[in-house]
Amino acid sequence: MKEPLKLGIAGLGTVGAGLLELIAKHGPGLEETLDRRIVVTGVCARNRDKVRGVDLGDARWFDDAVALATDPSIDCFVELIGGDEGPARAAVEAALKAKKHVVTANKALLAKHGMELAKLAEKSGVSLNFEAAVAGGIPVIKMLREALAANEVKRVYGILNGTCNYILTKMQDEHLAFDDVLKDAQAKGYAEADPTFDIGGFDAAHKLALLTSLAFGTKLPADQIHVEGIQTINAADIEAAAALGYRIKLLGVAERTATGIEARVHPAFVPEGATIAQVSGVTNCVAIEGDFSGSVLLVGPGAGSKPTASAVASDIVDVARDLVLPPFLKPVAQLKPFKRANLAGHYGSYYVRLSVLDRPGAMASIAKRMGDRGVSLESIVQKKPGDADAAASVVLITHETTEENIRKALDAIEADGKVAARPQMIRIEEL
């Protein structure tokens, strides 16, 4: 039997406690499979006295994550602290420099410092594994790094944030307002007290950055991703989507184009018959389109103690098997600079909602502005206001056009003063 793999776990929150529970339950079975024991020899957290409901066994307690990361008693440092700076970054860097394998669930850290950390891992000849950083229990990182490594990926897209999917699903199914559902999500622990990172699309953007680098062999494009959140989605948009045969989802999309790679996070209309439209609640979904594999769809829990612990454990198993791969599939020196496609050239159909003031010639002016930019309309639906003095809600569905054309048309419509609020525009994705 091989020497035991000795773990140091920093962070004993939801995921850390789940990982300890998993190792306690499945450790004997893994030992038989791997011909090697997995042993937790050190742990670190902010509060030594907190009741966590798990047995720490004989693990030595460390008050400092860096001290744990560099301690001779561990072979693999498991970072579950979180955050893109501070103790998480310092400890991961220290572990890699000390030639310790690293397993992390920290998408923010990787999105910001992934290239530097990957270089350290390569220099030290150790693993930097991060399956749990994207889509919780869904093995999408392994799918890209291993199962689909022989493919040229054309597009990767999906529902990457469970909080947003929960909110949009509940708005759709229960006809509730955004603010009410957000409060419910916070009460259930699906959303933070400050939910901006989730509902603003930034969490999904960090995950998409990692998927983009793996899928297209590029350096991380975290600051090159177009990001829109779901804050502006209201009941009128949800109702219109349903009436037109669509559902609204926050999507992360990265795809090859003639001018570069489009990497974008935004709400989208998706056909209600599409599989991704049926993914509800906090569930995540990732689709990968390879030139030989075709379209591969992965659906599963995007967060939670047990699913995320399962993903962390899968990385630990790879370390136990002495499987060391470049973190981003290729060595950093072989990764190409990220070439960002001009989103203005994106070609597709759009949903537009306007609050049109009751003024002579308002609709004619709107139609002219659309025509001036070469935007043709597939359908127009006008809903009369309950109050005679209120603005009318007008929903437009365009034929395919460029993002530049639709945006310039809407800017002109707003400048004309014929609408009571900024136009709402949502891309239609025919997945």
Provide the annotated active-site residues. 207
Query: Phi and psi of 238, rounded to 5°?
Result: -60, -45
In sign, the C-alpha dihedral spanning 212, 214, 217, 222 is positive
Q: Which two tokens stand for residue 286?
A: 């990732």
DSSP for 190-228, written as a single string? SS-SS-HHHHTSHHHHHHHHHHHHHHHTB---GGG-EE-
CA distance 233 to 353: 11
Strand partners, 269: 248, 428
- List the Cα angle 282/19/325 in 5-degree steps: 90
Query: Phi and psi of 324, rounded to 5°?
Result: -115, 115
> Which among 101, 90, 112, 80 is positioned nearest to 38, based on CA atoms?
101
CA distance 413 to 421: 11
> Which among 47, 67, 54, 50 is positioned nearest to 22, based on CA atoms?
54
Q: Which two tokens stand for residue 88?
A: 């998480």
Q: Which two tokens stand for residue 336?
A: 């190409």
Cβ pair 296, 290 in contact under 8 A: yes
Q: Which two tokens stand for residue 180?
A: 């009410």
Residue type, 124: S
Cβ pair 66, 8 in contact under 8 A: no
Cβ pair 190, 282 in contact under 8 A: yes
